[in-house]
A and B are shown apart, each in its own frame.
Chain A
Amino acid sequence: MKEPIIQFKNFSFKYESQVEHTLEKINLSIYEGEKIVIVGPSGSGKSTLAHCLNGLVPFSYRGEVEGSLTIKGHDTSTLDIFTISKMVGTVLQDPDGQFIGLSVAEDIAFALENEAIPQEEMVRQVTDVSKLVDLENKIQSSIHELSGGQKQRVSLAGVIVEEVDILLFDEPLANLDPATGKHAMALIDQIQKETKTTVVIIEHRLEDVLSQDVDRIIVVDEGRIVSDMSPNELLASDILESCHLREPLYVKALKYAGCNVTPDMHPESIESLAIEQCRDKLSEWYESTDSVKQEKKNSPILELRDINFEYHKGIKTLQNVTLTIHQGEMVSIVGRNGAGKSTLSKIIGGFEKIKSGSIFYKGEDITEDTIFERSNRIGIVMQNPNHMVSKHMIYDEVALGLVMRGVPEEEIKKRVEETLKVCGLYAFRNWPISALSFGQKKRVTIASILVLQPEVLILDEPTAGQDLRHYTEIMEFLTQLNSQGVTILMITHDMHLMLEYTPRAIAIDDGRVIADHSAAHILTNISIVEMTNLKVTSLFELAQKAGMDQPIEFVTRFIEYDKEARLTWRKNY
């Protein structure tokens, strides 16, 4: 029997500032050369588990440890963080924080510099590893010249530039669009094969992780290990659903259709899936569901006409953008990093001045209006709530915009309380914002904009980094607002969000609108999917594999059905 390279024995951990244990009696063995995925909802303890592995717990985050953790046969309580980090290399979630060097080469060399490796040796090693991650042409670039995927490859290179036994990835897909995520997983796989390391991946986007083979998936919930099995076994079980984790969509579809998913069907990927015995059930289910009729909206609220914009002379960020948004619509704007999506929202909000073109709000030309004037009609919610929060208490934060407008106190109180109720924050109105979760904070920032009663709401990546439960919460909340008449525009590269919530999607590439259609059509159109760095949804592939005549219609019906199902699921939660 092989020796485990990592072994948790009755391991418990409690943060100094908390009352409850974050990890409770963890028993887990990981063997040399394995590739393990750890999944779990937010707050399940999966990040703490990662911090225990790389030594940040207990060296940076203090607390009480019980039981033991051994890495390569050494009890970690006898080691310091420097020794642990020699064995376990960590790629952190936030590439902007991990990238500390002024250029790619320096960042890769960082660990070598700290070991006082002579310069010549360093240059050689950096060159080698930059070839391995396919960055040898970018070695002199600064972080600002790199895409999200490239930044992550730098982080990875900075870790594998030294020999480590274990590679730990903390939510490697969190900041990547679907296509880049897929490349990242392939690269991790390749690196593992070339360097023969053990790989541990913490992630909650399971379908994306499974684009490459993994040996085992560990499910963590409420500080305990809920299951530890192969992907095929896990996907055949109902553990993911009971832990509020998102199953791969094709698996979900099979289950809805009443198929008995078994491990020997190889559900771990759509390619390996044996679908024969499910064909009939799938088409039966398809016939039994109704097609969805989208009512056409036709009362323009926001019109962009021939917009051109550039940050730097000669480099066009937006080119001849023309589009119309109708009252009561919910639209997603998609495109790869740097395609111009965020710029578009800044233009609409008046944060940046356009070079030519015009913007109309309900037929009125608002091109020359200031940020402030526009903010009464169009509200913009930033991606990072920390960029907006400036008050200590929730009530004050939400009231801020009204106070600044000189609204009488009575009225402020009324409007703030109403808004807080709508946002499900009324019970917390006297809480400090710092006590809230990320998702709740996000809602506070939405509330602080909503209170100004804009008719159009633009959100930048509203669900980035949220697990399924918080994701559903935020999106249901937005849907509710939408049904009350607020027009909603979302910038996103979350394919689920597009499919499930926005009947219409606008794809942007290179500053131009390249498609304006239903989300299901966009996510099944290979050329648009490629240009926007998205992926063809696995539902479409499933429908094709099952030989459906109308795969796009299949996708649409699944989404409708799933939304209903998840609504009941949330109510029961």
Chain B
Amino acid sequence: MKNLSIRTIVAIGIGAAVFLILAKFVAIPTGIPNTTVQTAYAFLALMAVVFGPIAGALIGFIGHTLNDALSYGSVWWSWVFVSLFVGLFVGLLGKRINVENGEFGTKQIISFNLVQAVVQAIGWFVLAPLLDILIYAEPANKVFVQGLFAGISNIITVGIIGTILLVAYAKTRTKSNSLTKE
């Protein structure tokens, strides 16, 4: 924690702000209460892969907490924790995907999506409902169904938008000295 670089600190701060804006303005309702296509998680996945697990965890945690607090005046801690979890583990497991050298082909796409799907499945299908029951004593079947929908929509969102973002990001990292005018 002590050795975080300035760049990582800034990435956490600015990342959290972007997470909030996306969560607030770029969420598409799916029709199930409390469940939307959250583009913010696609962004979170990108930042976690690019800036690492600590940045991922804190962007998820700070961004989600601030959004809850500033938009609703209260914080839904169980789901905030899941955001932290997703950022952390996508960052940890995504470390092996080296986007910085510009490579993000089929192999990387598959491993990224495996990682994000597994991490999010654990987060939304298991952790979120368990914490909801523990903290808020909500009925089990309700929270599991909510978690299920949130999980599926987030896995799909990150699968599509997250992949698009990472591919686009990786392309900007390619060396461009082999270009010729035609």
Query: Is chain B in direct contact with chain A in the complex (CB below 8 A)?
Result: yes
A432 to B171, CA, bound (A): 8
Closest residue of B by beta carbon distance from A435: B176
A404 lies within 8 A of chain B by Cβ? no
Q: Are A432 and B181 within 8 A (Cβ)?
A: no
A430 to B171, CA, bound (A): 13
A351 lies within 8 A of chain B by Cβ? no
Interface of B is mostly: loop
Q: Which of B96-150 contact A (CB under 8 A)?
A: none
| Pick from A19, A392, A430, A434: contact of B182, CB under 8 Å | A430
| A427 CB contacts on chain B under 8 angstroms | 181-182
| Pick from A17, A428, A429, A431: contact of B175, CB under 8 Å | A17
| Pick from A19, A392, A429: contact of B171, CB under 8 Å | A392
Shortest Cβ distance from residue B81 to the other chain A in the assembled complex, whole angstroms: 27
Q: Which of B132-182 contact A (CB under 8 A)?
A: 168, 171-172, 174-177, 179, 181-182
| B175 CB contacts on chain A under 8 angstroms | 17
A278 to B175, CA, bound (A): 54
| Pick from B171, B177, B181: contact of A434, CB under 8 Å | B171
Closest residue of A by beta carbon distance from B174: A432
Q: Are A428 and B181 within 8 A (Cβ)?
A: yes
| Pick from A17, A19, A392, A431: contact of B179, CB under 8 Å | A431
A392 to B166, CA, bound (A): 12
| B176 CB contacts on chain A under 8 angstroms | 431-432, 434-435
| A434 CB contacts on chain B under 8 angstroms | 171-172, 176
**How many B residues, CB 8 Å from partner?**
10
A451 to B175, CA, bound (A): 29
Q: Mark A416-434, 1 if CB is under 8 A from B, else 0.
A: 0000000000011111101
Shortest Cβ distance from residue B80 to the other chain A in the assembled complex, whole angstroms: 23
Interface of A is mostly: loop
Closest residue of B by beta carbon distance from A428: B181
Shortest Cβ distance from residue B56 to the other chain A in the assembled complex, whole angstroms: 22
Q: Which of A161-175 contact B (CB under 8 A)?
A: none
Q: Are B177 and A432 within 8 A (Cβ)?
A: no
| B171 CB contacts on chain A under 8 angstroms | 392, 432, 434
Closest residue of A by beta carbon distance from B182: A427
Closest residue of B by beta carbon distance from A431: B179
Q: Are A392 and B181 within 8 A (Cβ)?
A: no
Q: Are A392 and B168 within 8 A (Cβ)?
A: yes
| B181 CB contacts on chain A under 8 angstroms | 427-428
| A17 CB contacts on chain B under 8 angstroms | 175
| A392 CB contacts on chain B under 8 angstroms | 168, 171-172
Q: Mark B18-42, 1 if CB is under 8 A from A, else 0.
A: 0000000000000000000000000
Closest residue of A by beta carbon distance from B176: A435
| Pick from A429, A431, A432: contact of B172, CB under 8 Å | A432
Q: Are B179 and A429 within 8 A (Cβ)?
A: no
A484 to B179, CA, bound (A): 32
A95 to B92, CA, bound (A): 35
A429 to B168, CA, bound (A): 18
A9 to B182, CA, bound (A): 42
Shortest Cβ distance from residue B110 to the other chain A in the assembled complex, whole angstroms: 21
Shortest Cβ distance from residue A392 to the other chain B in the assembled complex, whole angstroms: 5
Shortest Cβ distance from residue B13 to the other chain A in the assembled complex, whole angstroms: 9
A432 to B169, CA, bound (A): 12
A108 to B15, CA, bound (A): 24
A345 to B174, CA, bound (A): 36
A429 to B172, CA, bound (A): 16
A304 to B182, CA, bound (A): 44
A321 to B26, CA, bound (A): 34
A392 to B171, CA, bound (A): 7
Q: Which of A1-57 contact B (CB under 8 A)?
A: 17, 19
| B172 CB contacts on chain A under 8 angstroms | 392, 432, 434
Shortest Cβ distance from residue B92 to the other chain A in the assembled complex, whole angstroms: 26
| Pick from A19, A428, A429, A430: contact of B177, CB under 8 Å | A19
Shortest Cβ distance from residue B40 to the other chain A in the assembled complex, whole angstroms: 18
A432 to B181, CA, bound (A): 12
A139 to B181, CA, bound (A): 53
Shortest Cβ distance from residue B150 to the other chain A in the assembled complex, whole angstroms: 27
A431 to B174, CA, bound (A): 12
Shortest Cβ distance from residue B49 to the other chain A in the assembled complex, whole angstroms: 18
Closest residue of B by beta carbon distance from A426: B182
Closest residue of A by beta carbon distance from B172: A434
| B179 CB contacts on chain A under 8 angstroms | 431, 435
Closest residue of B by beta carbon distance from A430: B182
| A429 CB contacts on chain B under 8 angstroms | 182
Show 7 residue pairs from A and B whose CB-CB distance is below 8 angstroms, ordered by the A residue: A392-B171, A432-B171, A432-B172, A432-B174, A432-B176, A434-B172, A435-B176
Residues of chain A at the chain B interface (Cβ within 8 Å): 17, 19, 392, 427-432, 434-435
Contacts A17-B175, A432-B176, A434-B171 known; list 4 others, CB within 8 Å: A392-B171, A430-B182, A432-B174, A435-B179
